[in-house]
Structure 1
Amino acid sequence: MTTTGLGSVPGDDIREWMRAVLELVDIPFLPELPARPYGDMLSRTVAVLTELAADLQPVGWRLTGGGDARASLDQRRARALLHEDLDVLEEYADGYQGQLKVQVTGPWTLAASVERPRGDKVLADHGARRDLAQALAYGVQQHVAEVRKRVPGAEVLLQVDEPGLPAVLAGAVPTASGWSKHRSVDGPGAVELLSLFTGTAPTIVHCCAARPPIEVFTKSGASGVAVDVSLLNTAAWDQIAAAAEGGTAVYAGVVPTTGALPRAEQAAEPLVRRWRDLGLDPELLKMAVITPACGLAAAGSTADARARLKLLRDVADVVAEAADA
């Protein structure tokens, strides 16, 4: 069985974390350190937007126009930080061969978070959110190509983070005034924009929710879905089962990001029990990728986060043994 992390980690030392992810998990990933200025997932994603300019306002990122020439000081700083992190990746992953994961905020979460030049979220404008998604898809293609160039032996995986998509589908994203909500997006519309990303590299869509829209992810062409096992309701498990039987990889978030560190058997139990209750093939369980429940930025310390990543290997062993039982 395989292990990986979901992106964010605590602290501000990218070199320490690059060494750690190459050591502790089977699928290393480019760490996100949101404790650093411009190190959060939205700033990281704005950094790859080469076709659109944005600046950072007190309420968050706002689009300002098109092209690199109009990029604000904040956007240029975000790009510089990403470039520095890629330099570290290239240095520490020299000679590496195998899967390597990068993360980016998905088009729907980005549209629900970033403002248009004249105010309100990009989500409010059908044309604007399509333009944003297309610009992001182009930027992601360049980003993945850059990682492949820097680490030639890597099979790059793309993780698309969509924590905001359930609210987008439900029409639960507030407007700027706070008095109403943006209109909901239907499933086919959500699939259409997500599909712009799944041809760039093998793609995992990550969403920590009680009922992540698994069917949207699989119809968009995602090769994997990443979920927080502790949150999933019965309907979500039914969709997970259908996805797994259809060949989609399940990235099972089983190690909590905060609180007491569980024993490996405790962390593995909910996944193993649900798999058996659903009557799923144990061989499919062996293909699951074991991850933390979500990003580890909220972990108490770097040492705590490292311990949680280290535990993944023990959990994977327990799950594999249960699948063989």
Structure 2
Amino acid sequence: MPRPDKPNWPTMHLSGNQLDGLLPRSLAHCTNLKVLDLAGNNIEDTFPHWLESLQELQVLSLRSNKFHGVITCFGAKHPFPRLKIFDVSNNNFSGPLPASYIKNFQGMVSVNDNHTGFKYKCNQNLYCDSVELVMKGCSRELVNIFFAFTTIDLSNNMFEGGIPIVIGELHSLIGLNLSHNAITGVIPGSFGNLKNLEWLDLSWNRLKGEIPVALINLNFLAVLNLSQNQFEGIIPTGGQFNTFGNDSYAGNPMLCGFPLSKSCNKSEDRLPHSTFQHEESGFGWKAVAVGYACGFLFGMLLGYNVFMTGKLQWLASLVEGVFNE
């Protein structure tokens, strides 16, 4: 319903109820709607693509319902152009990630240069409201925020396929959660452009390849979770990456480097350090082996002549000759 002090900014908060069935299409007539929060109900429907007509919508939260099927764009030339919070987590959506929508999220492209903790607070000149979000792994209600705050949460569904490169164009994005899906491929290098990103959760997917070095440019990244994937190679160092612990990379056996105990230097696993020191001095294990083999052969020949032919005089002559030399 509209706020009494902001009659031109209508919102609809229906979260935390027991609403079920299909979502009524009559919502498409609320052309001035800014916030639609339906989280925490039992609504069982496909994605309401007919909401594309709500050109003023800034917050769409369908979290924790029973929505299902593929999220695809239908008809609208510029769907959801002002959307700043897109939360469809904890549903049963499937298919590829909704790139057709993401590339039209123009409300997430503009960057606020004054990146401070006060950027989320309200003043009389800005549209303000409250919404519950999962931030940095914790659920919390943001009260009196204005929507320069931008997040995408597609976690806990059945999405598959690769991560759309166009996400890297959402320069004002604060949080991105794609965890607990079946996403494959690599992390796009374009993620290095998300300079305002504060948390990134890609855990529990099937991502592979190396972690892009470009991510060390994300100076505001406070939470990173890449666990339970198939990443490999050296973990980037520098910037915020020096602050992340082992938990950020758990379940990726092919990763190495700080902060993991697994070294990326394969030569360190070949032989103990003391063995290399002996080789450098010219008396390594190879020389010992060669000497042992020669001595064994000489002994066999000597034993044959002594015990098989019984020529002790030959042995005496041989020994005398060796000493004379």
Normalized against structure 2, the TM-score is what?
Answer: 0.32
Structure of higher RCO (CA pairs closer than 8 Å, 6+ residues apart): 1
* Greater helix share, structure number: 1
Normalized against structure 1, the TM-score is what?
Answer: 0.32
